[in-house]
Amino acid sequence: MTTKSGVEEVQHLLQKRGFQVDRQVRFDWLTNRAPTEVDTPLPSQLKYRLVTLHARLGGDWSALTAKRRQHLRVDLQVDETTLIEIDEKHHFSSRRLTSLDFYDGIDHGLDLSQYRDLCSQYRDSADKYLRGREAVDFPFPGGLTAQRAYFDTTKDMLAAAHGYRLIRLPAPDGELTGAAKLALRVLV
């Protein structure tokens, strides 16, 4: 999750340029549950990729399907079909690098080359960020980092499958003004 002040900074800069921006938006189709548990139909290839990714990251499928359903949030929504996620350094982990292998042939809108480079550059410090923390469906030290990679991938793929364009703004160095300027270039 991006820091509140970081999201607010980007939101403020976009609003200054005349964009209507909502923060921390939830959708019925975006939850912490398994893609097979989503109420809306998804292409079988997409479900298969997310199931396989969960396993590759070391996840416990039965724990994922048994979790209490909670909505994941998207950092910003700019218009009816454009969503923005701001990715600070902890998003560029070795687990995220693994998840990028699952994007080929799937509509997603992510610059894979850029994200692979950023993961390669920042993965050591990103992996240390939550090193000892576990997640319910990733029950091992560092599981929270694996869960973040899984949820980032889920957001990317489900957004596209539901007709949204998700723009990821990389800000590994914490430079959010540059991220907001990138968003403006993409939006206009």
Q: Which residue has the higher pLDDT, 26 or 38?
A: 26
Contact at 8 Å (CB) between 59 and 150?
yes
Average pLDDT (51-70) is 93
For the entire predicted model, the pTM comes to 0.90
pLDDT at 166: 93
Which residues have C-beta within 8 Å of that of residue 33, sequence separation ≥ 6? Answer: 64, 65, 67, 69
Average pLDDT (161-166) is 92
> Which tens digits make up the pLDDT trace of 99-123?
999 998 887 778 899 999 999 999 9
Q: Check whether 35 has a pLDDT greater than 50.
A: yes
Q: Label residue 76 exposed, middle or buried (CB < 10 Å: 0-12, 13-18, 19+).
A: buried
